[in-house]
Amino acid sequence: MVEKERFSNQVRWYSFTLCMLIVLIHAQNIDIFIGQHPAVIAAESFIEEKGARIANAGFFLCSGYLFYRNFTMDRLFYKWKRRFFSTVVPFAVWNFFYYMIRLAVSKVQVFEGAFQQEVLWSWQEVLQAVVNCKYNPVFWFLQFLIVYIFLCPVIYWLLCNRYIGLCALISLLLTAGGGLADSLGDTLPSMANWLFIYMSGGYLGLHGRKWVEASKRMKSPFWFSAAGAAASHLFFAVSPGLTGQLLCCLFDAMLLWNVLGYVRLPEAKWWMRDTFFIYAVHFMIVRAGNKLAYACFGNSMGMGLWMFLLLPAAVALFCGYSGRLLRQYAPFVWNILSGNR
């Protein structure tokens, strides 16, 4: 497999792994199946906490890397145009779709309580749904990503020089980790936290391609990320705080990438490639699936555990085959829903 194909295949495996972690996070059902065994609760809580850190960081790191890989300001409008159709359009369409689905299922008794928010119809609610992801909370990632894409000229200006870029990353880490943006509300501090991960990916895309896309024979990237992960976790254990947490997020996501690069990966299966579609659809499936299982089987500890374990596979298969059908029989709809991926 030539280097370009090997890199593309590794990106597919990385994205699919992150997607499955996201599905597992949202498949946890201890709030639905009450009274499960403490070991089950501990396992689901552990996966939710650790998986969220790696998955969210991995998506931002990979997004930043792919955006700034081979980037120059001459390509700015080309990048903005592509991201408008691959990110902004599906962001708005899926948010509106989730709003309509939530409005419809709120009238069905079996799904009563599956969602915590009361659903109302008004144009103000439509605006809140489309812009602020009110009824599609998992799309907060895309909301942040759209802002980062819009800020591309500023980010590139900060990162284009290797040394100034490194200073900018350290300054952002200290600003976010030190809580200097906490007085600006809830969203902006969170956006600053994930901007550090995104810009780290961008920095690697501009200055570290030979390390990120290194072949298996080059072991230094793996050991660097492993050492960084160990050091950041030790730092966080000694001095708990947001700075250590952000470093853990960064190096854990880097380590996962390098672990996948270290092993011999087979070619990603066709059902592993539609990761955006999986990300967009999974929340509705896992919440409705857990609620439906509870309605059919009651408060069964065994059923709660089985649903948690099997839902990721069910989501992957459903998205794979439904995506194939849409691609074949409704290509225009598929291009909108998938961002033309």
325 phi and psi, to 5 degrees? -65, -45
Name the maximum alpha-carbon separation found in the chain. Answer: 60
What is the Cα Rg of the chain in Å? 21
pLDDT at 95: 95
Angle among Cα 23, 28, 33 to the nearest 5 degrees reads 145
Distance CA 97, CA 144 (A): 20
Q: CA 82, 88, 89, 92: dihedral to nearest 10 degrees? A: 170
First to last CA, the chain: 22
Q: Is 217 exposed, middle or buried (0-12, 13-18, 19+ CB in 10 A)?
A: exposed
C-alpha–C-alpha distance, residues 260 and 268, integer Å: 12
Query: CA triplet 138, 292, 319: central angle to 5 degrees?
Result: 50
* Dist. CA 257–CA 17, nearest whole Å: 10
User: Rounded to an integer, what distance in angstroms lies between the CA atom of residue 135 and that of residue 146?
Assistant: 18
pLDDT reported for residue 233: 94
pLDDT at 50: 75
DSSP 38-98: HHHHHHHHHHHHHHHHHHHHHHHHHHHHHHHTT--GGGHHHHHHHHIIIIIHHHHHHHHHH
Q: Which domain holds residue 302?
A: 3-338
**pLDDT number for residue 155:** 97
The low-confidence residues of the chain, meaning pLDDT below 50, are 1
Structurally, the chain folds into a number of domains equal to: 1
- pLDDT of amino acid 210: 87
pLDDT at residue number 35: 65
DSSP 186: S
Give the pLDDT score at 36: 66
Q: Which amino acid is at 269?
A: K
CA distances from 308 to 22, 33, 74, 302 (A): 12, 11, 47, 10
Whole-structure pTM value: 0.91
Q: Output the CA–CA distances (angstroms, integers) from residue 293 to 31, 58, 220, 306, in the order listed.
A: 13, 31, 47, 10
Compute the 3-state secondary structure of the chain and give helix, strand, coil in percent, each to the nearest 5.
80, 0, 20
The answer to whether 28 and 308 are in contact (CB under 8 A) is: yes
What is the per-residue pLDDT for 110? 52
Residues in the chain, total: 341
